[in-house]
Amino acid sequence: MTSVCLETRTPELEGVTIRLACAEDAEGLSALFNAGRTSTPLHLQRALPTGIINALMGERTFRLVAVACGTIIGQAGLNLSGLTGRLTMIVREDFRSRGIGTALLAQLISEARHTLAVKRIELDVAETNSAAIHLYHRCGFELEARRSSQYGVNILTMSKSIT
């Protein structure tokens, strides 16, 4: 059964490019991760690009970025372990509900299946993030577990087998 995520729908992606991330994207990814956070100390903000470069250049990491007008507006990545990929994903708040997350996830699943030989993708998502949960369900992810976090929000673990 083909999931809605992988169907050829035309989301409103005019002017948005999805491509493989590279080391030069570190500063833009750092800005994306810090968007809306006023409490990140300056010394940590400065250290983030270095950490992102290390994560991007990792042998077992695969990351895509969505770019509009030269600015990174979203990312989806897999941290690989054997035949399993651990998903991380974020789309800038002012670009949500435009199909960017769907496009990033569809491309990532395709790459995982055809290029990376991944058989399973896992993720954690806050139970309060209903938009992301809806996207993951549409793309064929299933709930595996629910657990409490130290921040008082339940965390859902979801997964998808890809063959």
The residues pairing with 84 across neighbouring beta strands, listed in sequence order, are: 81, 120
Average pLDDT over residues 116-132: 94
Tell me the CA distances in angstroms from 90 to 95, 104, 115, one per residue in order. 10, 10, 22
Q: What is the dihedral of CA 127, 128, 129, 135, to 10 degrees?
A: 50
Question: How far is residue 57's CA from residue 33's CA, in Å, rounded to a whole number?
Answer: 18
The b-or-e profile of 123-158 (16+ CB within 10 A means b, else e) is bebeeeeeebbebbeebbbeeeeeeeeeeeeeebeb
**Range with lowest mean pLDDT among 27-31, 67-71, 81-85, 134-138:** 27-31
Asked whether residue 93 carries a pLDDT value surpassing 50, the answer given is: yes
Whether the Cβ atoms of residue 64 and residue 108 lie closer than 8 Å to each other: yes
Residue 102: helix, strand or coil by DSSP? Answer: helix
Asked whether residue 82 carries a pLDDT value surpassing 80, the answer given is: yes
Could you tell me the residue ranges of all domains in the chain?
A: 15-161
The mean predicted confidence, pLDDT, of the chain is 83
37-70 pLDDT, tens digit each: 555 555 555 555 566 666 655 678 899 999 999 9
Q: What is the CATH architecture of 15-161? A: 3-Layer(aba) Sandwich (3.40)
